[in-house]
Chain A
């Protein structure tokens, strides 16, 4: 199967070039991805639903446009995987939850509309922690996703499905969502690139909401350029999302092609590193900073003292919004409906309760309960109110830091990929996975995770770049520079071992 496997190994930009040059077709490339999904995903569990028919039909249309020399976009015909949190006409959208099992939305998320319009065949829907709540993809109601680097380990979460699919070359591109790190942390743990754009930079319309003021969709890819190309497709103002920014997408592709850090001020965030961070993670991070310095960047240390409270504030704001956003799953209009046992003629209220009891997993219930409590009369000021104040302080710290530095850097996650089940019974340990990614969500600023090499355990490490609001292009510029320096150093990309052999072994 050499020929088709090779196509799956191409990055998005490489495949787009091959399609433009007429060296291959979208149907062939899409089939290569589908073959690889067929061969490997039984083990990885990165997809919840594969739409071979739909993807191949879209690929055939892309090929027609390519042969007529009128591609719909630079990525026309490049297949993409979509996190199963985005509504897709014709494919189920479950959010990884039993409560939405089998639900097929009557409408497309704006991001999906834009993917379709740009001609990207949608391979299927990727696995996630239920309603995107988790950092390991073990909280999916449909079973966990495994890390292609070591199938005994998690790929991170919540977007473990998209990250694993891209790391394992089941798809060149994928869409993730990031509420507290759900794109970036899986990126770090699987050796992929993950970007959380500026809040409001990508429409949330049609994305099953977890925490409205924090959720943001973004690209999951293997290279910085691919992320920029995908960002350009999905980004930009959407009148259907009132929180969408009415401004052009920052020049991310141009920045990704430039990759020049000469004279750039890079701020190392004192609070995001050191204690609590795995030594191999810290070592790769410091080497990255060293490489950037050698390439002409100026490195300064910045302090963001309120980040110490970011995790706590996050775990008040997020569950509060969760408790309200997830109220609609009540069995009245769509989704699961469970009748309480032993009750004749149950009331609507009893059916709601029985359905929510059966349809939500423990982590979701935990957050609904936390949020309901935090918003309760008499507690609101102490919890939700205080958390909003911390949020303002986090934004102020970012503002001050960006006076001293053009971009900030930190390790993306405190550890490399952890073993399946390791943190499942310890929610707080799980929550700490997002300690370095959460501040960006609280302040709305953009963040990017780039593979920075392997730690002492042979597993990938991510370095995180952070930029001011609407300066997403700075992420791509700095990350592209570091990516090039690392590739030169490594002599090529560090890819997850092709799991084919392991699976057959």
Chain B
């Protein structure tokens, strides 16, 4: 497990995997736009659910985040979201706040990085 507070030095997105899955630049840009619209709200929902120890919503928000992160091959963060989903489903509160911090750190640079994809892929 990556220590809490760790900031990844390399790219957050698994570029090879992402471009293999979404080989259409226009589609990739569209997905990134959707991600940028939905992700902050979902992360906020998760943060609030964790703060309230509202396990049902921890599970639901983590599940949704996991799907979006996997879609864009944000592999490490998706693993953390999956762990939070499991905690929510099983009602495991110990370690939940730490897992959320880890997720926050893993995605801290994500949005700017995704912007580079839309620029990089342009002809």
Q: Say if A and B assemble together.
A: no
Q: Which residues of B contact A (CB under 8 A)?
A: none
Q: Which residues of A contact B (CB under 8 A)?
A: none
